[in-house]
Amino acid sequence: MTAINPVTDLSKEGEIAVLTLNSPPVNALSAPVRDGLADGFKQAIADPGVKAIVLICDGKTFIAGADISEFGKAPKGASLFDVQAAMENSPKPVIAAIHGTALGGGLEVALCAHYRVAVPSARCGLPEVNIGLLPGAGGTQRLPRIVGPEAALDMVTSGKHVPAKKCLEVGLIDALAPEDGLRATAIEFARTVVAEKKPLKKVRENNAKVEAARGHPEIFADFRKANARKFRGFLAPEFNIRCIEAAVNQPFEEGLKTERKLFMELMTGSQSAAQRYVFFAERQVWKLPDVPDDTPEIAVKKVGVIGAGTMGGGISMNFLNAGVPVTIVEMKQEALDRGLSVIRKNYENTAKKGRMTMDDVEKRMALLTGTLNLEDLADCDMVIEAVFERMDIKKDVFARLDGIVKQGAVLASNTSYLDIDEIASATRRPEFVIGMHFFSPANVMRLLEVVRGAKTSKPVISTAMKTAKRIGKIAALVGACPGFVGNRMLAQRQREANQIVMEGAMPWDVDRVLYDFGFPMGPFAMSDLAGLDIGWVKEKSSSSTIREVLCEMDRRGQKTGAGFYDYDENRKASPSPITEKIIQDFRTKSGVNARKVSDEEILERCIYPMINEGAKILEEGKAIRASDIDIVWINGYGWPVYRGGPMFYGDLIGLDRVLARMKQWHAEMGEQFKPSALLEKLVAEGKRFQDLR
C-alpha cells in the first residue's frame, strides 16, 4: 500500500489497483482529496501491472460532495475536472465502490467511472439545490443521460437521496454488493470487466435518452408549472432546470459550458451564500458550549403529555412516530375522546395519502394511552405540559406533577411565552424543569425552542436537545425571557405592521411586501388564519384596536369568512372595502393623517426592529449564536431560507444601514426603536453578527 497523501492510499489486489480515500467526516472533495485522486489515478494508470482501478472510501460514507467550507475561498489543489477527465479517459476500467452517500460532486465523480457498485444501504443524489447551487461538475449533463430528463429534473430540484436499489433500477449503478463485502465485490467486478473485455462506458456518450427528449419542450414547461409554487423565490431550481434543458438541446461539451456559467452565477449570488450559511448553522445549533456532548442523558422511554388539544395531540404524535409510548392526560372525557380521535384521524389521512400503512397507524395508536388521571404519569421519564397559556394554571399543574412524577424525570412546559423560572418555582426540583416550545402544527413544524431556566441542569438540557433530534426536530437552546427568541422578535414585526397600517398602508400592502420578500404569508393573512379572537374577550372589548373592531363585527378571520380580508367559499382572500373603511375611521378617530408608506419603508420597519431585537437577545445571552436565531426564524416562522435568516440578512444588507434606520426611528418615533448596544458595537468595529464567536 502506498500513501499518496494523508487522505489517499493506493494498494493493489493482483492486477486491480484500489484507491482509498479517508478524509473524515464525509470524504468531501477538499483540496487534499482532489490532489490524492489526481496523483492516485495518475500512478495507477501509469502502472503496467494495473489492469483496472477501484475507487473506494473509508469512514462512514463515499464522497459526500465538494467541500462546502472551501466555497468562496481562493481555489487550491488539483482541479476536479482534471480528476474526472483522468477517470473517464482512463484506458483502464475505473469502478466506483459506493457506501453511505454519493452526493453532489461525489456522485459526479462516480459518474466519471466506467462502472459503479454499491451496497444496498447506499444512497445517491445531487442535493446542490439545497445549498442554492446546481451540480457544477457535469452532473446536470451526465445524470439525464442515464436516468432520462424527467427523473433528472426531479433529482436535481428535490435534492433527494435515492436508495441504491432504485439506483440499480434506473441504471445509476451497475451492481449491488453485500453490506460487508463492498471492497471485495468491487475488485471482483473489476476483474470480470477486464476478463470479459467489457467496454469502458463513458456516460457522456450515452445520448439516447436526451435525444429522445429533444423537441419536447413540454417536459420542462409542465415541470415548471407543476412546481412554480414550491420553487417560488428560489433561483437554484430554475437554473437546474435550464441545465437539464441544455443536456437535451446541446451537445455534451456545450451543455457543460452552460452548466458552468449558471453554476458560477449561483455560486457568486447571495441566495447560495445564505443557504450554505444555513447548512452549517443547522449543524452548529446542536453544539452547546457549556453542555458537552458527553453530558449524561436521562433515558426517555415513556412520555406524558398534559392536554389533548391541538398542541398536546401534535406533540404526542412526534413521540409515537419515534416509537415512544405516550400517556396523554385531559380533564374531561369528552375532551380526551376528541383529542384521541384527532390523532387517529391525522394518521388515517396520512395513510390515505399513501405516506404510511394502516398497520403503521395501528402501531402508533397502540403506543398511545388516554387518561383523566394525572397520577398515571408517575413513571414517565419526560412530561410535557401543553395546557392553557395562563401562569396560574401552569404553576398548579407543575406543583401537582412535582408530587406525582418519579424523581429524575424531565418536567417540560410547552409555553410559548411565559417565564420558565416562575413555572419551575412551583416545584421543589427546578433543575428538572425546562421549556420545550413546539410550533403548531407540532407534528409538522420542524422547530423546537428549548428554553433553559436559571436552574435547569445540564443533563436535562442535553436530554431535551437529544430528544428533539430523536423526534426529527431541529432545536435551538434559548434563554428564558418573554417570548424567548422567535415570539420576542415577532412582537417587533407585529407592532410595526399594525403601526404602519395606522400611518397609511393597508394590511394587504404589508402582506404583499413580506410575501414578495419570501414569507409564505404576511402578518395579517396569518392572523386571519390563526383567528383574530385569540386572547379577545368579548365582554371586555372596547373598539380600542382595529382588531377589536373586526372581532366585534364578527370578522374573526378565515373561520368566519372575513377578518382583515374577505374570503370566498374556497377561502381565497381578497382586500376588504369594509376593513379599509374601518381602518380609515379608526385613523380619523385617532387623529391620524394617513400618508403613503413605501414598500421599502414597510419592509425595513418590519424587518430591522427584528434584527435589532435579535442583537439584544445575543447581548443578553438568550441565544448562543446569531445563526441559532436564524435557525429559529427559518424553521419556525417561515423566513425564506435563501435569505439566510434575520441576522444573516442584517449582515448582508449591512448592519450600519440597520443601525442608521433604528437611530432615525428612535429619534422620530421613540424608545421602541432604541438601538441594541451590540449592534452599535459591531457597526463601530466594522463587524458582522457572523464575526461573533
Q: Decide if 361 contacts 344 (C-beta within 8 A).
A: yes
Any idea which residue has 418615533 for its cell? 669
If the CB atoms of residues 70 and 599 are measured against ligand T1G, the closer one turns out to be 70
Q: Which stretch binds ligand T1G (CB under 6 A): 67-75, 312-320, 591-599, 652-660?
A: 67-75
Minimum Å gap between C-beta 259 and ligand T1G is 9
The smaller minimum CB distance to ligand T1G, of residues 107 and 611, is found at: 107
Q: Which CB sits closer to ligand T1G, 332 or 469?
A: 469
Distances in Å between the alpha carbon of 415 and those of 386, 399, 475, 480? 7, 16, 15, 11
Q: Judged by CB, which is closer to ligand T1G: 109, or 409?
A: 109
**Positions in 509-538 near ligand T1G (CB under 6 A):** none
Supply the angle between the helices 626-636 and 646-653 in degrees, to the nearest 10: 120
Given 66, 143, 412, 471, the residue binding ligand T1G (CB under 6 A): 66
557 within 8 A of 532, measured Cβ to Cβ: yes
Q: Return the range that interacts with ligand T1G (CB under 6 A); candidates 125-133, 322-330, 390-398, 506-514.
A: 125-133
User: Hunting for cell 433500477 — which residue is that?
Assistant: 169
User: Which residues, 6 or more positions from 270, have their beta carbon under 8 angstroms from its beta carbon?
Assistant: 643, 652
Binding of ligand T1G by 25 (CB under 6 A):
yes
Distance (Å, rounded) from C-alpha 80 to C-alpha 178?
Answer: 30
Q: Compute the distance between CA of residue 303 and CA of residue 36 in angstroms, rounded to an integer.
A: 50
Binding characters for ligand T1G, 179-218, by CB under 6 A (x = yes): ----------------------------------------
Q: Which of 21, 64, 405, 474 binds ligand T1G (CB under 6 A)?
A: 64
Residue 163: phi, psi to the nearest 5? -60, 150
Q: Are 602 and 500 in contact (CB under 8 A)?
A: yes
For position 105 contacting ligand T1G by CB under 6 A, the verdict is yes
* CB nearer to ligand T1G: pick between 232 and 287: 287
| Chosen residue from 17, 87, 131, 193 binding ligand T1G by CB under 6 A | 131
16 forms part of the interface with ligand T1G (CB under 6 A)? no
The yes or no reply on residue 177 touching ligand T1G (CB under 6 A) is no
Q: How far is the CB of 262 from ligand T1G (least distance, A)?
A: 12
Q: Residue 153 CB, nearest distance to ligand T1G (Å)? A: 16
Asked if residue 136 binds ligand T1G (CB under 6 A), the reply is yes
d(CA 583, CA 166): 58
Please answer whether residues 527 and 547 qualify as being in contact, where contact means their C-beta atoms are separated by less than 8 angstroms: yes
Shortest distance (Å) from residue 284 CB to ligand T1G: 7
For the bound state, the minimum distance from the C-beta of residue 486 to ligand T1G, rounded and expressed in Å, comes to 23
> Which segments within 501-544 are labelled E, that is strand?
none
Answer for the pair 272, 266: CB distance below 8 angstroms, yes or no: yes
Exposed / middle / buried, residue 625 (Cβ in 10 Å: 0-12, 13-18, 19+)? buried
State how far the Cα of 354 lies from the Cα of 341, in Å rounded to an integer: 20
Site string for ligand T1G, 26-45 (x = CB under 6 A): x-x-----------------
* Closest to ligand T1G by CB, 111 or 513: 111
Whether 108 is catalytic is yes
Q: Which is nearer to ligand T1G, 29 or 384 (CB)?
A: 29
Count residues contacting ligand T1G (CB under 6 A)? Answer: 25
Q: By CB under 6 A, name the one of 8, 23, 90, 101 that touches ligand T1G.
A: 101
Q: Which lies closer to ligand T1G via its Cβ, residue 136 or residue 614? A: 136
The answer to whether residue 128 forms part of the interface with ligand T1G (CB under 6 A) is yes
**CA–CA gap between residue 175 and residue 120 (Å, rounded):** 10
DSSP class of 77? S
Q: Mark the segment that binds ligand T1G (CB under 6 A) among 59-67, 554-562, 571-579, 614-622.
A: 59-67
Residue selected from 32, 40, 65, 640 as contacting ligand T1G according to rule CB under 6 A: 65
103 binds ligand T1G (CB under 6 A): yes
Q: Is 144 in the site for ligand T1G (CB under 6 A)?
A: no
423 within 8 A of 391, measured Cβ to Cβ: yes
- Nearest distance from C-beta of residue 161 to ligand T1G, angstroms: 7
Q: Which one of the spans 131-139, 211-219, 339-347, 596-604 is the region binding ligand T1G (CB under 6 A)?
A: 131-139
Nearer to ligand T1G by Cβ, of 135 and 453: the residue is 135
Closest Cα to residue 286, out of 68, 487, 462?
Answer: 462
Rounded Cα–Cα distance for residues 653 and 679 (Å): 14
The H or E element containing residue 586 is helix 577-590
Report if residue 574 touches ligand T1G, rule: CB under 6 A.
no
Those residues whose C-beta lies under 8 Å from the C-beta of residue 463, and which sit 6 or more positions away, are 297, 298, 300, 382, 410
Give me the residue label for grid cell 441576522: 647
- DSSP-derived letter for residue 69 is G
Q: Which of 88, 108, 385, 604 is catalytic?
A: 108
Q: Is residue 127 near ligand T1G by the rule CB under 6 A?
A: yes
Site for ligand T1G in 270-309 (CB under 6 A): 280, 283
Distance of CA 255 to the CA centre of its chain: 31
User: Mapping DSSP to helix (H, G, I), strand (E, B) and coil, where does residue 466 land?
Assistant: helix
Q: Is 329:374 a contact under the CB 8 Å cutoff? A: yes
Choose among 474, 514, 476: nearest CA to 606: 514
C-alpha cell at 457: 441542569
Q: Which residues bind ligand T1G (CB under 6 A)?
A: 25-26, 28, 61, 64-69, 101, 103-105, 108, 127-128, 131, 133, 135-137, 139, 280, 283
Q: Which residues are catalytically annotated?
A: 108, 128
